[in-house]
Amino acid sequence: MNSGKTIFAQLMDFLPAYEFRKCVERYQGHYKVQSFSCWDQFLSLAFAQLTYRESLRDIETCLRAAGSKLYHLGFRSPVARNTLANANAVRDWRIYADFAQVLIAEARRLYAAEDFGLELKQTVYALDSTTIDLCLALFPWAKFRKRKGAVKLHTLLDLRGSIPTVIWITTGKVHDVNVLDELFIEAGAIYVMDRGYVDFARLHRIQRQSAFFVTRAKKNFNFRRLYSAQVDKATGLLFDQTIVLNGFYSARDYPDKLRRVGFLDTERNKRLVFLTNNFILPALTIAQLYKCRWKVELFFKWIKQHLRIKVFYGDSENAVKSQIWIAISAYVLVAIVKKRLSLKPSLYTILQILSVTLFEKTPILQALSATACTTQDHDFSNQLNLFD
């Protein structure tokens, strides 16, 4: 009989405890706390994410059923529903946001050489948002529409490894384009966005800071063509133009030249037009870059399907943000473990295995690699060839 640690405890050993304590001290997370530390709170919600618990009572029942195993899972205090609810409501969500950034930084180092389908030296980011609907009566702070509440997850995704580098959580009323004001522009990087982010003053800020963007052109786009480059129409390219903006305000906000690339998506028989300030990459690569933007859509679909952010364990803004950041931490932690242990199964498969083996005392490498499971995650297969 294996007398070692449980798989849950082995998984949590990959977390940098020292960095977590620094985050707690930064926001005085243990002020007037006698029991049930921030670490216990993190473990409780991480357990809920990994085992798909639906409520606080569900979490309490499952953890109390563990009995003597609770200490070996890493908990130092019993988990009570009211105690966990209070911790979610009053302990600063920025503790878990900062800790998630620590994990994200580590994951990005591990996936720095990861291939994402295009041979580019530059870092490529996909920027997008997803809306999580909430009941306005229960979440009055989450303003969205007159009778509907929501929060938005604005995510900047590093396409190497699909690691979320920055996440902003706002109410549903905040327009996507406003996030560009909060974005730290990395010189030389490429930012891929949909046409909801087309604001020429903000795009020119990216240009001024020596970075690149790729986005879709709006239908009412007013421009003047300067000249056209030759394209191979057999590849689906329609045109490759150098243009300037015509409108008074548009030309004032973006006085430099732009590149306009047309592409025909033969699978959907749809004509797509891209705008970029990158005049170096081939026109076909510009179209392929926009196709890679779907990775951020897949990330949103993945976390909505496999992490507990549809049902929240508290109705305060602090509780919602704490849960989302711990959910993101769970996602990134699994990505770190996958890379460090050189595991071949997908993140989806690893999570399914973890959900039913957390209380076992099998070595984690053996549990996650010794599987004959060949099931593929078909949830995303039909979206990888889409542009819009």
Q: List, for residues 363-383, the tens digit of each pLDDT value.
A: 898 888 765 444 444 444 444
Average pLDDT over residues 185-196: 92
Q: What is the pLDDT of residue 53?
A: 85
Average pLDDT over residues 45-51: 89
Task: Give bridge partners of residue 333 from the DSSP assignment.
Answer: none
- The pLDDT-based confidence of 387 (bands split at 50, 70, 90) is very low
Average pLDDT over residues 79-96: 93
Cα→Cα distances 307→109, 197, 328, 378, 382, Å: 24, 27, 8, 17, 21
Q: What is the pTM of this model?
A: 0.82
What are the residues whose beta carbons fall under 8 Å from the beta carbon of 333, sequence distance 6 or more?
Answer: 11, 14, 15, 46, 103
- Higher pLDDT, residue 191 or 121: 191
- The total of other beta-carbon atoms located within 10 Å of residue 26's CB is 12
Evaluate if residue 318 carries a pLDDT over 80. yes
Average pLDDT value for the chain: 86
CA-closest candidate to residue 126, choices 303, 288, 256, 238: 288
Average pLDDT over residues 69-89: 87
Q: What is the pLDDT of residue 306?
A: 56
- The total of other beta-carbon atoms located within 10 Å of residue 308's CB is 23
- Residue percentage of the chain with pLDDT more than 90: 43
Instruction: State the maximum Cα–Cα separation within the chain, in Å, rounded to a whole number.
Output: 76
Q: What is the pLDDT of residue 116?
A: 74
What are the residues whose beta carbons fall under 8 Å from the beta carbon of 18, sequence distance 6 or more?
Answer: none
Task: Give bridge partners of residue 156 from the DSSP assignment.
Answer: 127, 166
Evaluate if residue 385 carries a pLDDT over 50. no
Evaluate if residue 263 carries a pLDDT over 60. yes
